A and B are shown apart, each in its own frame.
Chain A
């Protein structure tokens, strides 16, 4: 039997069909094989993984295994992992071994998961194609001449190629959902504050949210269960009870109203993407959901708003990378300014520098009101639009990205074109809403995702809707030719 999902893998482990050590060895073999083609990982932690797997097997033998115990997984290299290189895909941190674990890492470790490596990503999570990584681009397993999306491109490609059943990811403007869409996997960005940001290297603190990329919504529910919850180390994490997401998966779709976002179906959306998204909508209708068109008039302003707020926060968050205490330091600095200037000039890539400069500009005296303050006001309007919409509907539906995976190098010359790839995902970040991308069909050989957005802390409803859809469809079970079809 081939375990196609995390849930099936967990069941196999529980039944004793295989050990965690066996699963981990197999996963490491797949990683070794795929790495030259995909470049999905920055670090492979074979030794630690096998030790953790053995410990997980012992824990199971002792009768203390949980649903995730012994399952191999991958962390996006934005999460600090004690004793393991944590690079954020930047030359700046190419020598940084974290002295501590991020809360997400701790929680999944406590659940008994086995980390087999750290996923490649856009440098400091800034990018939509994984091409800004210091470690080279990740390639899309469906077509290795194309990008996997970004910034969690390594996480999405790894799950799509079935290297591991789950990879953690982060989403600041679509960095979980867009690569999930482009790689044909399930991506969940929880509500801002649902999962701790402690130990997750900050890009834009008011937007960053940790989540997960999996094969199925059920797998996402299982993982979120372990990741979510208040963390006293993160003041912006929310002290609210964590519902039983798996138990909520079977909620029926009947009685649910799905809003289709008028603004998401305009010019710029490729017809070959629109078709499977509309088909998904029809499927939801057939499953009993009511459908209603809603308009969020402020939403078209989300891209410019985002590209003021996110760079502003990034310009400040990345100031700590100064060559003084950790990370890259230039050779033979002649004085303090030389140390700062060359360490940062050498350590950061072009896109990161562009955003630091943009952010510095919008926060500067004389520009703050016109840019940063105005952007915050527009952000409040967008949030209000969403709140109003959720007064009428239970979930919102639209495309995740305007196009399927594009070719490597196609958009690198024009940052604005690249930024527009996040046009449908940014709104949920600005409003702090939970959102998912789930596979809903293909544009030619390339997968297409449909996006569902829920109200604040509406993860259970979101996951249930996605799960019901996945029970009726098998788009999420399609794996790219040439890669494994399952995990065991």
Chain B
């Protein structure tokens, strides 16, 4: 039944800009301070205070716009979004409305199957964050922490271009990668530096008109975005198929119960009474400023991935994975440089054993227990046949645990591969002598017993015999 339905998703991503101070005041933006210690009179919305725009936030928004190939507004305007809430000190949020700083960009997002989908970015605008209402640990009252009030955000609004939760996640991850590449957001989702609302609707396949959408709020991890969207899609389909109608509303995702529930309907929605903020001048940017920002952009993920394919000859998919973060990409390049000519081997190890070890310990590349040169040192021993790939995995585990170098581990444990044909030949002779029945059977046509001899010989060598050499010698010696 659900095969008839098409899902339509658009995302609104809030990325907290990594400025030192707030967007309209001189208070620091650092996370985790004692409540209300990082809010000055401007953040508290005291009578008579005025906002002054932080130029660093403007530069970061422009860098984002340039990175998604968007139009940078030569003139953008801050507007007031008016509503009452205890953690919104002024009774309005300073945002951008009719004239955002960034418009009409796009991102090309590679899907799991390797196809690329272009997602339009309608706009990205600057705004200030609100504070936080704290309910835990307070009985009968709510507490307000305004440390976050005035933290700069860029809100990135996509076109409704995504057709599944997986596509939405892929896009969101791409944006996440990009803002971290640019160094404009730390991407920390647990601390709320990178959050997302999803607009979700369904329509029958082939239908041109969009269905009525629901806006899902409070999606603060990639996993929740996926779960919430899938849940919401199912809810809408079941609703329509049972004769109901989707109403336009805001729904809150509850990760504990894994469900969305209504927060407010369109009728209950605030009329925000946007109007240009008379306390702030329009932001006017000239060509030279924009060009300077363009020149200052780092190599972006897509550019880097293309270069990896070209320079290292690795598959596009590998390049995509390895360039997911600047740190991972740099790590790969250092490993690759340590084992010239073995770029694919390096890619396999960085994406495989190395990433798995990081994940297992919950570490970022920056906090890795092994440096790129150390990993490169291990791969060099595979490349020069000192150890086999299989043994290398064991060596890696020891290196990871002890933060040691490959050569030291190989040396200390005597793991050096045996490539001396005389020694291997003697080993084989011993095994043939010890297993006369198997030898006779093999020679009378039981080819399958070849594996038995390989196993025995490898075991006798402590796993150190060079596999290719062992095979070659075995074939020769076992032959009738």
Which one of A10-18, A364-372, A434-442, A456-464 is at the interface? A364-372
Q: Which of B255-285 contact A (CB under 8 A)?
A: 271, 273-275, 278-281
B49: chain A residues at CB < 8 Å are 198-199
A-side interface mostly: loop
Cross-interface CB contact of B86 among A99, A312, A336, A363, cutoff 8 Å? A336
**CB distance B50 to A234 under 8 Å?**
yes
Please give the distance in Å from B238's CB to the nearest CB on chain A: 33
Q: Mark A337-362, 1 if CB is under 8 A from B, else 0.
A: 00010000000000000000000100
Q: Mark A305-340, 1 if CB is under 8 A from B, else 0.
A: 000000011011011111011110000000010001
**Complex Cα spacing A340 to B83, Å:** 12
How many of A's residues come within 8 Å of B, CB to CB? 45
**CB distance B86 to A201 under 8 Å?**
no
**CB distance A205 to B278 under 8 Å?**
yes
Residue A233 CB within 8 A of the other chain: yes
**Complex Cα spacing A80 to B274, Å:** 28
**Complex Cα spacing A233 to B53, Å:** 10
Residue B82 CB within 8 A of the other chain: yes
Which one of B39-47, B65-73, B116-124, B322-330 is at the interface? B39-47
Quick one: closest B residue to A198, CB to CB?
B50
Q: How many Cβ-Cβ contacts under 8 Å join chain A to chain B?
A: 100
A96: chain B residues at CB < 8 Å are 47
Q: Which of B40-93 contact A (CB under 8 A)?
A: 41, 44-53, 80, 82, 84, 86, 89-92
Q: Mark A194-215, 1 if CB is under 8 A from B, else 0.
A: 0001111110111000000000
Quick one: closest B residue to A207, CB to CB?
B278
**CB distance A316 to B280 under 8 Å?**
no
**CB distance A202 to B48 under 8 Å?**
yes
Quick one: closest A residue to B42, CB to CB?
A233
Residue A232 CB within 8 A of the other chain: yes
Residue A471 CB within 8 A of the other chain: no
**CB distance B47 to A98 under 8 Å?**
yes
**Complex Cα spacing A200 to B48, Å:** 5
Residue B358 CB within 8 A of the other chain: no
**Complex Cα spacing A315 to B278, Å:** 13
**CB distance B271 to A235 under 8 Å?**
no
Cross-interface CB contact of B82 among A200, A232, A319, cutoff 8 Å? A319
Residue A488 CB within 8 A of the other chain: no
**Complex Cα spacing A222 to B41, Å:** 31
Cross-interface CB contact of A372 among B41, B275, B280, cutoff 8 Å? B275
Knowing A235-B52, A364-B271 are in contact, say whether A316-B80 is a contact too (CB < 8 A): yes
**CB distance B44 to A236 under 8 Å?**
no
A202: chain B residues at CB < 8 Å are 47-48, 279
Quick one: closest B residue to A202, CB to CB?
B48
B47: chain A residues at CB < 8 Å are 80, 86, 88, 93, 96, 98, 201-202, 320-321, 326-327
**Complex Cα spacing A88 to B47, Å:** 10
Knowing A234-B50, A319-B91 are in contact, say whether A206-B82 is a contact too (CB < 8 A): no
Residue B144 CB within 8 A of the other chain: yes
Knowing A199-B48, A235-B50, A316-B92 are in contact, say whether A368-B275 is a contact too (CB < 8 A): yes
**Complex Cα spacing A151 to B173, Å:** 56
Cross-interface CB contact of B48 among A102, A315, A325, A340, cutoff 8 Å? A102
**Complex Cα spacing A102 to B41, Å:** 12
**CB distance A340 to B84 under 8 Å?**
yes
**CB distance A235 to B281 under 8 Å?**
yes
Quick one: closest A residue to B41, CB to CB?
A100
**CB distance A236 to B279 under 8 Å?**
yes
Knowing A197-B50, A233-B52, A235-B53 are in contact, say whether A364-B44 is a contact too (CB < 8 A): no
B274: chain A residues at CB < 8 Å are 363
Quick one: closest A residue to B280, CB to CB?
A235
Quick one: closest A residue to B45, CB to CB?
A320
Please give the distance in Å from B1's CB to the nearest CB on chain A: 39
**Complex Cα spacing A364 to B269, Å:** 13
Quick one: closest B residue to A96, CB to CB?
B47
Cross-interface CB contact of B279 among A99, A235, A368, cutoff 8 Å? A235
Please give the distance in Å from B176's CB to the nearest CB on chain A: 33
Cross-interface CB contact of A319 among B50, B92, B144, cutoff 8 Å? B92
6 further A-B contacts with Cβ under 8 Å, apart from A320-B46, A325-B46, are A98-B47, A312-B275, A313-B278, A319-B84, A322-B91, A363-B274
- Could you list 29 examples of A-B contacts with CB < 8 Å? A98-B46, A100-B46, A201-B47, A201-B48, A204-B278, A205-B278, A206-B278, A233-B50, A233-B52, A234-B50, A235-B51, A235-B281, A236-B279, A313-B275, A313-B278, A316-B80, A316-B91, A319-B84, A319-B92, A320-B46, A320-B90, A324-B89, A325-B46, A325-B89, A326-B47, A340-B84, A363-B82, A364-B273, A365-B273
Interface residues of B (CB under 8 A from A): 41, 44-53, 80, 82, 84, 86, 89-92, 142, 144, 271, 273-275, 278-281
Interface residues of A (CB under 8 A from B): 79-80, 86, 88, 93, 96, 98-100, 102, 197-202, 204-206, 232-236, 312-313, 315-316, 318-322, 324-327, 336, 340, 360, 363-365, 368, 372
List the 5 shortest-distance A-B pairs measured between CB atoms, nearest first: A319-B91, A363-B273, A206-B278, A205-B278, A199-B48
